[in-house]
A = this chain, B = another copy of it.
């Protein structure tokens, strides 16, 4: 390496540590793409996960002194995910996340391990002789997500959810009675389209997770079904109220869920004015838009003892 390229000599007169300090930090590996095929006697089972691992801990010297002792390389994290997938990815992504997080928090320097998993569901292709044992079509209607945190003391946090679930109600949605001022032009709507591409995540009660008695696949399915049922059934006076209605329905349906967070864009569909062309438009022809959009973010939880 020619001299021109060498690093500048650090300013030895000056210790940055007297002026600055390290705040919150974490590091890890993201977008670990993992597909597993379990080759059973009569059919194959497929799982398609994207895993991210992040660690928190005592990494001050790594940042401030360039000292890498104790650093687990993110490449090692990736290797661990693939190695663990061999034998320990036997059930839900949530359970796999717990296995991984408990492993990583075992490293000396690590105070907390966080594992995020997205699952792309696949369906067996229907054939004349029934569902194919070995051929699949990506479902595409949603992404299943799991978020797991384990800290050194052993406390755990598991959140599950759905992302990119795109839903539409063609009636039973209104928006009236809102505030009007000099910047308000939106008319009241007694009957409007409501469309969204939602992310809903829910936290399981920590003691239930520690007790090991949650069937994460079953609870996920119960929560998802309750969400969609409530979406279809309810009358929506606002997106905010829809979140309350869906979130409470999910917790009614699944006792292990402690709280639900929803992030709900309101993807506006504007009724086209066809009168210029001599046509009416009784709620039939809409322009679908993605920007700008309303964005509602709310958490609903079980009432805590006052």
Bin the interface of chain A by size: 35 or more
CB contact between A83 and one of B39, B140, B279 (< 8 Å): that residue = B279
A216 contacts B by Cβ under 8 Å: no
Please provide the chain A residues from 253 to 306 with a CB less than 8 Å away from any CB of chain B in the complex.
259, 261, 265-266, 269, 272, 274, 276-304
Contact (Cβ within 8 A) A8 B234? yes
In the assembled complex, the Cα of A28 lies from the Cα of B172 at a distance in Å of: 22
Contact (Cβ within 8 A) A228 B137? yes
A205 contacts B by Cβ under 8 Å: no
* In the complex, residue of chain B having the shortest beta-carbon distance to the beta carbon of A167: B137
As a 0/1 sequence over residues 136 to 160 of chain A, the CB contacts with chain B under 8 angstroms (1 = contact) are 1111111000000000000000000
A52 contacts B by Cβ under 8 Å: yes
Q: List 20 A-B contacts (CB under 8 A).
A: A1-B191, A7-B172, A7-B233, A16-B244, A20-B302, A27-B298, A29-B293, A33-B287, A37-B283, A39-B282, A52-B295, A64-B244, A68-B237, A73-B178, A79-B183, A79-B184, A86-B281, A86-B284, A127-B232, A128-B229
